[in-house]
Chains A and B, each alone.
Chain A
Amino acid sequence: MNRIVVGAHYGTSDWLAQRITALIMAVYAVVVAFIFMSNASMSYAVWKDLFAAGWMRVATLLFAVSLVWHAWVGVRDILMDYVQPDGLRLALQVSTLLLLASYLGWTVQILWR
């Protein structure tokens, strides 16, 4: 096996993923903000229909996946910068992954109920 142990660009794919997911979330956020603003007094029927629509479910799922991926890269960066003890950092990273995975599961549960 040919392993390169020195060099650069190890973080390039994370860096790129964080930026692409940011763009996906930005588009979703603007669309949802417009929907919110155009429905000044949101009723339950409108709210329920909005999240029953197929495109909205898929868009929200895409947003949730983007959020989880984006947040993982960001939180990992923060932990690598500020938490020096290896054991504590590992524990916090595992906790973050569990938290983000449960967010994703919860979102799927809410959307397809």
Chain B
Amino acid sequence: MSSAAARKARPKYLSLRALLFEIRLPLPGWVSILHRISGALLVFPLTAWLLFLLDASLLSEAGFEKTRGYLALPLAKAGMLLFIWAFCHHFCAGIRFLLLDLNRGIELHQTRRSSLMVLIASLALTAYFGARLW
């Protein structure tokens, strides 16, 4: 065993400092944790919010116009932008995971490239749909 490895303090405990500044998550790790965060956000509160909007907009013509006016509010637009990002990220990352399940692109350099592609594609889709929204 090399002496450098032997001199390292063991065991090493996780601390907030370690989580924030010492542990660098690789790109596939970012895609993975963002997949979880976006999934959790989609379950709650975003699905509840969208069902509320769908309910109100289909109830009557007045409800439809009211929903349209509500969605023009900056806060509602920000919420919609969050939904669009969460959905697009979950969608793109999910397709990547499905391909990984089929053993497509499982080499290290491929997984790094595909995770970068997922992060960029979901942000680009969010920008596109967000621009359509505004």
Residues on A facing B (Cβ under 8 Å): 19, 22-23, 26, 29, 37, 44, 47-48, 51, 67, 71, 74-75, 78, 96, 99-100, 103, 106-107, 109-110, 113
Kindly identify which residue among B51, B58, B94, B95 contacts A106, using a CB–CB cutoff of 8 Å.
B51
Interface contact B40-A78, CB-CB below 8 Å: yes
Q: How far is the CA of A94 from the CA of B50 in the complex (A)?
A: 22
Interface contact A29-B87, CB-CB below 8 Å: yes
Tell me, yes or no, whether B44 is within 8 Å of chain A by CB.
yes
Q: How far is the CA of A76 from the CA of B95 in the complex (A)?
A: 21
Interface contact A75-B58, CB-CB below 8 Å: no
Tell me, yes or no, whether B107 is within 8 Å of chain A by CB.
no
26 A-B pairs with C-beta separation under 8 A: A19-B98, A22-B98, A23-B98, A26-B91, A26-B94, A26-B95, A29-B87, A29-B91, A44-B61, A44-B65, A47-B64, A71-B47, A74-B39, A75-B40, A75-B43, A78-B39, A96-B43, A99-B43, A99-B44, A99-B48, A100-B43, A110-B51, A110-B54, A110-B55, A110-B58, A113-B59
Q: Which residue of B lies closest to A60 (CB)?
A: B54
Where chain A touches its partner, the secondary structure class is: helix
- What is the distance, in angstroms, from B28's C-beta to the closest C-beta of chain A? 17
